[in-house]
Copies of this chain bind each other. A is one copy, B any other.
Amino acid sequence: MAEYKLYGFGESGNSYKAALMLTLSGCDWECIPVDFFAGETRGEAFRSTVNEMGEAPVLVHGDMMLSQSGVILDYLAARVGRFEPRSEEERQEIWRWILFDNHKFTSYLATLRFLVGLQKTGETPVTEWLRGRVKGAFAIVEKHLDGRDFLVAGRPTIADLSLAGYVYYEEETGLDRSAYPRIGAWAQRIAALPGWRPPYELMPSVLKAKA
C-alpha cells in the first residue's frame, strides 16, 4: 500500500499540483480516482467523509487528511524537504504567490478551460469575462518572470508547482499563449525537472475512461 494516497483525477490541475509534487519528490503515492464529472466530489458521501468543500485534491497520509492544494504542497514541502522555503521571507513570498494563484491565476484559468475546453460551452459573456481576468493574471506573472527563472528565490518551489497546475493542459481556452513567452519558458523549465510528467500520465482522465 502506498504511503500517500491522493484523491484526484487527470482533468484536475489542482490535483496535478499535488501529484506533481509527490512525483518530483520521489514519494510513494497512488491516486484514488474520483469522478468529478458524475458529481462525485460534490456529493454527500464525498463531502461527509472526505472533504466538506466538495473538491479534489485530498491527500491521505496515515491518519491525516488534507485538502486545498496549497496546504498539501506546504505539508509535503516541510516533510520531504523539497521545493520548500528556506527562510521566513521566502515562506511569505511563496504563500503570496500561492494565494494569488488560488485567487486569480489558477482560479480564472481553470474555470475558463473547464467551460471552453471541457464543457464546450462555446463563447459566452462568462467565458469572455473570464478570459479578460486570465489575461490580467498572466500579465502579472509574465512581468514577474522578467529576469527570473522561477517565481521565488531563484529555484523551483511549491509556488511554481501551484501556478503550473493548469499550464500543461492542451484543451482549448481561447487564450493566445504565444503572448506570454516567459510563462512558456518557465513552464518548460519546470517540465525539465527530473521525473516531471504531464497531468494525464500521473492520474487517469475521467473523460477518456467514459469515452
Chain A interface residue number, banded: 20 to 34
**Is A23's CB within 8 Å of the partner chain B?**
no
Partner of A144, one of B52, B69, B71, B99: B52
**Which residues between 87 and 116 of chain A lie within 8 Å of chain B, taking CB atoms?**
92, 95-96, 98-100, 102-103, 107
**Is A68's CB within 8 Å of the partner chain B?**
yes
Partner of A95, one of B52, B54, B68, B100: B68
The answer to whether B125 and A96 touch across the interface, beta carbons within 8 angstroms, is: no
Q: What is the minimal beta-carbon distance from A42 to any residue of chain B, in angstroms?
A: 9
Alpha-carbon gap, A102 to B98, bound state (A):
10
**Is A53's CB within 8 Å of the partner chain B?**
yes
8 A–B pairs (Cβ distance < 8 Å), ordered by A: A52-B144, A53-B100, A68-B95, A68-B99, A68-B100, A70-B99, A71-B99, A126-B129
Which are the 10 A-B pairs with shortest beta-carbon distances?
Answer: A125-B125, A102-B103, A68-B99, A68-B96, A126-B129, A102-B102, A70-B99, A71-B96, A71-B95, A99-B102
